[in-house]
Structure 1
């Protein structure tokens, strides 16, 4: 199964455990979608949150295919100031979950029926110890 996972990388927004998205007025989102097309795609997520009365605080980190963003994330978490949500790649999600740094999304996942619509290979990246800890928002081959 790990071979299948290596061929398909899940890009997900993972929630840091120190926050509560469900009742948040604003969410700070660390990401590396900074090109024109990526920013346009990100606007779809921003608009969806706005429609739910949730504000988006943008924290773009350009360059490195996410390496610079992960460096920024590590510094923020170490300083005790994690962002609300982060764009992450599949195996990074599992690493952060193992450190206890990600929040539980089970309530949202159940309400939206993620178990029924998210393929098992993506659930492997998006769940940790049987709990949803990331929301898959983009998938591509590596």
Structure 2
């Protein structure tokens, strides 16, 4: 492993890439043999990273340099897909909820229209009619008459 590390440093230096080369054993899958890896932390942008990859390609047979983003591509893709699916479900749910609330409000208004129309037909035919809840219940009140007649209607307008 020390030999590979030295070769990586030399290749990066020859390519003009400033990087810190180290050894890590927590990033790769464990195996029965030596499962450590050489890491290179590159400072700079995407161009610097591409030059480092080019310099390190071919360092070991059948292996190529990878980044953390390369290793986690499936996790990143799943996260993006899950986020999109969650947003679609939320939009559909809120659309159904808003539609349901609108239909309920419209049904309540239509139901009340019928009730109010029936109440309008059943109202007493009295010019000075007052509802029983607001009428004064005294014997001196001219608009209150107890008995079988309609409550709240004037005595003279039967």
TM-score by length of 2: 0.23
Structure number with greater Rg is 2
TM-score by length of 1: 0.24
